[in-house]
Structure 1
Amino acid sequence: MTSGPSKSTAPWSDLLLRNMAELRELYNHASDQFDEDAQADFARLFDGSSRMDEMLRDADSSRHDLMNVLSAVRGYSEILREDLSAEHADIDAALARLLKAVDSANSDSDSTPARASSRRIIHSEPGFILAVDDLQENRELAARYLSRSGHIVVTAASGEEALLTLDQADVDVVLLDLMMPGMDGHEVLRRIKEHPEWRATPVIVISGRQDMDGIIECIEAGADDYLFKPFNPVLLQARIKAGIERKRWHDREELYRQQLERNEKFIRATFGRYLSDEIVTDILERPEGLELGGDLRRVTIMMADIRGFTTISERLAPAQVVTLINRYLGAMTDIIMAHQGTIDEFIGDAILAVFGAPQHRDDDADRAVRCALAMQQAMEEINQRNREDGLPEISTGIALNTGDVIAGNIGSERRSKYGFVGHPMNVTSRIEDVTAGGEILIAGSTLESLQREYRVGQSRELNVKGIDELLQVYPLLGEQS
Structure 2
Amino acid sequence: MYFTHIGGTAFMQDTDDQRSGCAEGELGESFETRFRELVSFGELIEHANSGLRLDEVLENLHASFRRIIPYDRMSVAFITPNRERAVSRWTRSTASEIRIPVGYSAPLAGSSLAPIIETGEPRILNDLRAYAADHPDSDSTRRIVEEGMGSSLTCPLIANGTPVGFLFFTSTGRDTYRDADKRAFMRIATQLSLIIEKGRLYEQLSERTVDLEKRNEYVRAVLARYVSDDIAANLLSLPENLEMGGERRRITMLMSDLRDFSSIAESHEPELVIAMLNHYLGEMTEVIVEYGGTINEFIGDCILVLFGAPVSRSDHARRAVRCSISMQIRMAEVNRYNRAHGLPALAMGIAVHTGHTIVGNIGSPRRSKYGVVGTAVNLTSRIESAATGGQILVSDETRRSVRSGLLHGEAFEIEAVGYDRPVRVTEILGCDRPEPIRLVDPAQLPSVRRQLARCGAPKARRIVPQ
TM range (shorter): 0.5 to 0.7
Match of 1:116 in 2: none
Which amino acid letter does the alignment assign opposite residue 387 of structure 1?
Answer: R
Q: Matched residues in 2 for 1:135 and 1:390: separation?
A: 73
1:14 equivalenced with 2:8 (yes/no): no
- State the shift of 1:424 in Å: 0.2
1:261 equivalenced with 2:261 (yes/no): no
Q: Where do residues 142-221 of structure 1 align in structure 2 (5 Å cutoff)? A: 154=92
- State the shift of 1:320 in Å: 1.2
- State the shift of 1:469 in Å: 2.7
Q: Matched residues in 2 for 1:385 and 1:146: separation?
A: 60
Match of 1:383 in 2: 335
The equivalent position to 1:407 in structure 2, one of 352, 359, 362, is 359
Match of 1:450 in 2: 402
1:292 equivalenced with 2:292 (yes/no): no
Q: Matched residues in 1 for 2:276 and 2:305: separation?
A: 20
Match of 2:195 in 1: 243
Which amino acid letter does the alignment assign opposite residue 212 of structure 2?
Answer: L
The equivalent position to 2:384 in structure 1, one of 432, 447, 463, is 432
Query: Structure 1 residues 142 and 388 mapped into 2: Cα distance closer, same or farther (>3 Å)?
Result: closer
Q: Deviations over 1:103-127 (max 9, x none)?
A: xxx8xx9x99xxxxxxxxxxxxxx9
% same residue: 36
Q: Matched residues in 2 for 1:334 and 1:385: separation?
A: 16
Which amino acid letter does the alignment assign opposite residue 408 of structure 1?
Answer: G
Q: Where does structure 1 differ by over 6 angstroms across 4 or more consecutive aligned residues?
A: 141-147, 149-153
Match of 1:183 in 2: none
SS in 2 for 1:466: coil
Which amino acid letter does the alignment assign opposite residue 371 of structure 1?
Answer: C
CA contact (8 A) 1:299 1:355 kept: yes
Match of 1:131 in 2: 61
Q: Matched residues in 2 for 1:11 and 1:454: separation?
A: 102
Q: Where do residues 415-430 of structure 1 align in structure 2 (5 Å cutoff)? A: 415-430=367-382
Query: Structure 1 residues 137 and 391 mapped into 2: Cα distance closer, same or farther (>3 Å)?
Result: closer
Q: Matched residues in 2 for 1:431 and 1:314: separation?
A: 26
1:372 equivalenced with 2:331 (yes/no): no
CA contact (8 A) 1:131 1:143 kept: no
- State the shift of 1:458 in Å: 2.8
SS in 1 for 2:195: helix
The equivalent position to 1:283 in structure 2, one of 235, 260, 265, is 235
The equivalent position to 2:282 in structure 1, one of 330, 333, 336, is 330
SS in 2 for 1:298: strand
Query: Structure 1 residues 246 and 9 mapped into 2: Cα distance closer, same or farther (>3 Å)?
Result: farther
Which amino acid letter does the alignment assign opposite residue 453 of structure 1?
Answer: G
1:351 equivalenced with 2:281 (yes/no): no
CA contact (8 A) 1:132 1:139 kept: no
Which amino acid letter does the alignment assign opposite residue 131 of structure 1?
Answer: L
Q: Where do residues 46-125 of structure 1 align in structure 2 (5 Å cutoff)? A: 66=33, 71=37
Match of 2:269 in 1: 317
Query: Structure 1 residues 258 and 452 mapped into 2: Cα distance closer, same or farther (>3 Å)?
Result: farther
The equivalent position to 2:412 in structure 1, one of 460, 465, 481, is 460
Q: Matched residues in 2 for 1:369 and 1:310: separation?
A: 27
Query: Structure 1 residues 394 and 137 mapped into 2: Cα distance closer, same or farther (>3 Å)?
Result: closer
Q: Matched residues in 2 for 1:456 and 1:10: separation?
A: 109
Alignment RMSD: 3.6
Q: Matched residues in 2 for 1:476 and 1:289: separation?
A: 36
The runs of 5 or more residues in structure 2 that have no matched partner are 1-19, 43-56, 80-85, 95-101, 104-180, 437-466
Query: Structure 1 residues 242 and 463 mapped into 2: Cα distance closer, same or farther (>3 Å)?
Result: same
- State the shift of 1:244 in Å: 1.9
SS in 1 for 2:329: helix
Q: Matched residues in 1 for 2:330 and 2:184: separation?
A: 76
Query: Structure 1 residues 11 and 409 mapped into 2: Cα distance closer, same or farther (>3 Å)?
Result: farther
CA contact (8 A) 1:133 1:139 kept: no
Query: Structure 1 residues 288 and 12 mapped into 2: Cα distance closer, same or farther (>3 Å)?
Result: farther
Q: Deviations over 1:234-287 (max 9, x none)?
A: 231111111122112211211111011101111111111111111111111111
How many equivalent residue pairs? 306
Which amino acid letter does the alignment assign opposite residue 140 of structure 1?
Answer: P
Q: Deviations over 1:98-149 (max 9, x none)?
A: xxxxxxxx8xx9x99xxxxxxxxxxxxxx956535689563407979999x9
Q: Deviations over 1:71-104 (max 9, x none)?
A: 4xxxxxxxxxxxxxxxxxxxxxxxxxxxxxxxxx
Q: Matched residues in 2 for 1:129 and 1:13: separation?
A: 39
Match of 2:453 in 1: none
SS in 1 for 2:410: coil
Which amino acid letter does the alignment assign opposite residue 428 of structure 1?
Answer: T
Q: Deviations over 1:300-351 (max 9, x none)?
A: 0011000011111111111111111111111111111111101111111100
CA contact (8 A) 2:296 2:371 kept: yes
SS in 2 for 1:478: strand
Q: Which has the higher helix share?
A: 1
1:233 equivalenced with 2:185 (yes/no): yes
CA contact (8 A) 1:325 1:349 kept: yes
SS in 1 for 2:356: strand
Query: Structure 1 residues 10 and 439 mapped into 2: Cα distance closer, same or farther (>3 Å)?
Result: farther
SS in 1 for 2:232: helix
Q: Matched residues in 2 for 1:129 and 1:263: separation?
A: 31
Normalised to the residue count of structure 2, the TM-score between the two structures is 0.59
- State the shift of 1:232 in Å: 4.9
